[in-house]
Amino acid sequence: MINILANDGISNSGVEELKKSGFNIITTNVAQEQLENYINKEDISVILVRSATTVRKELIDKCPGLKIIGRGGVGMDNIDVEYARSKNISVINTPAASSSSVAELVFAHLYSGVRFLHESNRSMPLDGDSNFKKLKKAYAKGVELRGKTLGIIGFGRIGKETAKIAVGAGMNVLAYDKFLSNTTLELEFMGDKSINIDIKISKFDELLKKSDFISLHVPAQKSYVIDKKQFELMKDGVGLINAARGGVVNEVELVNALDSGKVSFAGLDTFENEPKPEIKLLMHPRISLTPHIGAATNEAQDRIGIELAQQIAEILK
């Protein structure tokens, strides 16, 4: 029997799908430093991870029985992908499964920012009964997303899903992507209705200058995508969302831009220092915060589990 370790968990639907194919699935969470010993002792052929567990060269070298490394989600920066493949280990992921979930979280942060929900939810429990009128005045200058421009940096699957919600909310979309010139979005509605919308790819600096809000959808980078120079090009009062990867935005410059008013609010789901984000970010009143939960919906986890199971069955059968 082939043993599969889902070290960061897997949905019930994924477990059922794997069992259906005759695999033995283990959902024990093994500490990083004990992985090598566990994989060899339990004869694990497949390890499935999310973002918590890393699979580096050292682990790959010490676990000759590994046949597949699977990442439930998109980014594979916690896996030495090329090295694993050079050792004839299949490396798989599920790039499409969580796109809608991340896009919806982007809009949760956007709506939270323009209507001060993140601040209001901190203040109301403390002062809602004694300072209701004061709070009402403090949060009275909300703005609508309709009619505003959303700049999307990185126009892959998640960028496109984000654009679809933006179009549905009545926003203008500017997109930047190194690998595209222009593209067509298919907006699907209930009752099998759909319409196509052409999106022209903008120049990077033009997007920074013209966007009211900016959302990042790029993989992990060696250097910042948004640094001091990029903040300077943006409109005064811009809103910035990063639900992509920590390290694509210079967080020191972000705090400076928030303090100066250049950026009116930020929404962060990912951080340079995970799992210990900087205290200045955590305490900042103008940042809407989530602990890297972009793909963490029941629906996405079901899709991820089933998709991984199908890929594993295809490789091993």
Same CATH fold, 99-289 and 3-96+298-316?
yes
Residue 51 has a pLDDT of 86
Residue 144 has a pLDDT of 98
pLDDT in tens, 33-70: 999 999 999 999 999 999 889 999 999 999 999 999 99
- Other CB atoms within 10 A of residue 163 CB: 25
- Other CB atoms within 10 A of residue 126 CB: 10
pLDDT in tens, 213-271: 999 999 989 999 999 999 999 999 999 999 999 999 999 999 999 999 999 999 999 99
- Active-site residue numbers? 245, 274, 292
CATH of the domain spanning 3-96+298-316: 3.40.50.720
Tell me what the mean pLDDT of segment 170-186 comes to. Answer: 95
pLDDT in tens, 65-89: 999 999 998 889 999 999 999 999 9
pLDDT in tens, 268-294: 999 999 999 999 999 999 999 999 999
pTM: 0.90
Residue 74 has a pLDDT of 85
Tokens of 173: 């979309």
Q: Delimit the domains of the chain by residue range.
A: 3-96+298-316, 99-289
Residue 2 has a pLDDT of 96
Residue 202 has a pLDDT of 97
Work out the pLDDT band at 129, boundaries 50, 70, 90: very high
- Contact indicator for 7, 35 with CB cutoff of 8 Å: yes
Cα gap 124→132, rounded to integer Å = 8
Cα gap 144→158, rounded to integer Å = 23
Distant-in-sequence, close-in-space partners of 242: CB < 8 Å, separation ≥ 6: 215, 216, 248, 249, 266, 267, 268, 269, 270
Cα gap 278→286, rounded to integer Å = 15
Average model confidence (pLDDT) across the chain: 96
Which CATH class for the 99-289 domain? alpha beta
- Contact indicator for 202, 149 with CB cutoff of 8 Å: no
Return the percentage of the chain with pLDDT > 90, whole number. 96
Residue 15 has a pLDDT of 96
Residue 91 has a pLDDT of 98
